[in-house]
Amino acid sequence: MLAHQGSYKAMAIAAAVSVLSIVLLMMDMRWVYLLVYVWFGVIYGLLLQYGRFCMASAIRDLFAIKVPRMAVGVMIATALFSLTAGLVTVSGYSTFHPHPLGWHIIAGGLIFGFGMIFTGGCASGSLYKSGEGNVASMLVLLSISFSQALFVDLGSWSNSLAPSSWVASAAEKGMPESLSVNDGWFDTFTAGYIWDLSGGTIAQSLDSGNSWLDVFVGNALLGAILPTVVLLILLYITTYRKGYIRRNKIESPTFNDHMHGCWAMMTTSKNTALAGLGLGVFAGLQMWATGALREHYNIFNFGELLQKMGYTQGLSIQETVFDPGYWYITTQEAQLGGWVLDKAGIDVMDNIFFGLMNGIPNPLINAPLLMSVGIIAGAAILALTRHEFKWKVPNMETAIFALVGGALMGIGARLGMGCNVGAFFAAVTNGDMTGWIFLAGMLGGGLLGVKVFTMWIDWRTSADDDFDI
């Protein structure tokens, strides 16, 4: 009976999402734009839970125990997403915008990577683990949400942290007084530093006149596939080769032996590899779907569609909302934190992040946020079906790690303009080389985090032993 209860609950969640979707479409067919986010979120949640797909796990396993399984899955997803993203780009439906290139990318990656080691999950990993009943991951999500909302709205005390060149450059932009652009470090950082930077994709830099050639050779092959192949080879050499040769009792390994070894490494965990394949395909399909709907409704942002449907509360002064058009995580979480603070009477729209660009719409009509909710729902559906759902209440130490690590992840995400999904996965696969820089930062921060966490565990174990004596 208990074995069936999980399946019944899973079906109930799926049915609830389906019924709500039908109701919304009966009210107004234009809600299909929001539902694209929701249902792709559900698919991502299913795939993430199926492959236990998490960047924090990939980095921790790689540096702590030299197990490349998760890192291999990430590379597979990256290579395949670059191909689907290429198809979407040449079709004219791409919604991707390159990130500005600067030191903030690697700094954000370092802070984000360090924080996620202590939380036990990256941005996407924390979502799917929340769907499994992990309360610590839920605390991570809350911490990420509020740390971002507070960070982008830093008050006057932070003005001294901004270089005078940023202040001068920000003042030149002529922003509306309501945004208080020169009052707060993050606003000055955005207007006086970020907006003065440039960015672009490899395809844009080639600009040969042949979009197919530029996109698939530049963005996909040079920007994503070749680097992932190189990284897979490095993973094989540094973590898998010796064990493979020893297990198979190969005395004088040939090139073919090593090729078989690489294939064995890539298929060690079929679930992770298949999850990577699925994420690569569906991440591209989401870009195509949102791009096609934007053309169909003649909009460039979901905010325009919301206005047409009579929903204007929470839009930015440009009458926009955060609407990346592809898989993203941290910004919508910041919007959730901002919305709660706003309802608590704290003005958080007097800044560029919320007030000018992203707004803070009601969570019930926030498409990217509902994608994150969809990820939790999708993970819960599969976890319940596989009898892997279990409420896990953390002890005090784990809860503190979740909150502190989540706060660091939130700050890192805002500095780096994204997380392991938006700043790395989506960027790299669309030919934006800032993604590899963010990954380098995450790896550096993750390595440092593993070392610090190991030192903490060793110290605590030693202290416990001394107490027992």
CB 15 within 8 A of CB 381: no
CA dist 13 and 158 (Å) reads: 45
Q: Which of 186, 188, 183, 217 is nearest to 203 (CA)?
A: 217
Q: Which of 404, 406, 437 is nearest to 423 (CA)?
A: 437
Q: Which of 348, 372, 341, 337 is nearest to 42 (CA)?
A: 372
Neighbours of 432 (CB within 10 A): 27
**Positions of the chain with pLDDT under 70:** 1-3, 209-210, 463-469
CA dist 273 and 137 (Å) reads: 24
CA dist 250 and 253 (Å) reads: 6
Give the angle 331-335-341 at the CA atoms, nearest 5°: 145
Beta-carbon contacts of residue 121 (< 8 Å; ≥ 6 apart): 54, 56, 57, 129, 134, 137, 140
CA dist 115 and 411 (Å) reads: 10
> Measuring CA to CA, how many Å separate 449 from each of 170, 357, 454?
35, 33, 8
- Predicted local confidence at residue 207, as pLDDT: 79
Q: Which of 14, 348, 345, 13 is nearest to 152 (CA)?
A: 348
Q: Which of 429, 375, 328 is nearest to 43 (CA)?
A: 375
**Whole-structure pTM over 0.85, yes or no?**
yes
Q: Which of 197, 187, 198 is nearest to 414 (CA)?
A: 187
Give the angle 177-181-182 at the CA atoms, nearest 5°: 110
- Predicted local confidence at residue 162, as pLDDT: 84
3-state secondary structure the chain: CHHHHHHHHHHHHHHHHHHHHHHHHHHCHHHHHHHHHHHHHHHHHHHHHHHCCCHHHHHHHHHHHCCCHHHHHHHHHHHHHHHHHHHHHHHCCCCCCCCCCCHHHHHHHHHHHHHHHHHCCCHHHHHHHHHCCEHHHHHHHHHHHHHHHHHCCCCHHHHHHCCHHHHHHHHHCCCCHHHCCCCCHHHHHHHHCHHHCCCCCHHHHHCCCCHHHHHHHHHHHHHHHHHHHHHHHHHHHHHHHHHHHHHCCCCCCCHHHHHHHHHHHHCCCHHHHHHHHHHHHHHHHHHHHHHHHHHHHCCCCHHHHHHHCCCCCCCCCCCCCCCCCCCCCHHHHHHHHHHHHHHCCCCCCCCHHHHHHHCCCCHHHCHHHHHHHHHHHHHHHHHHHCCCCCCECCCHHHHHHHHHHHHHHHHHHHHHCCCHHHHHHHHHHCCCCHHHHHHHHHHHHHHHHHHHHHHHHHHHHHHHHHHHC
- Predicted local confidence at residue 1, as pLDDT: 54
Q: Which of 358, 351, 356 is nearest to 187 (CA)?
A: 351
Sign of the alpha-carbon torsion through 181, 328, 272, 71:
negative
Give the angle 395-398-402 at the CA atoms, nearest 5°: 135
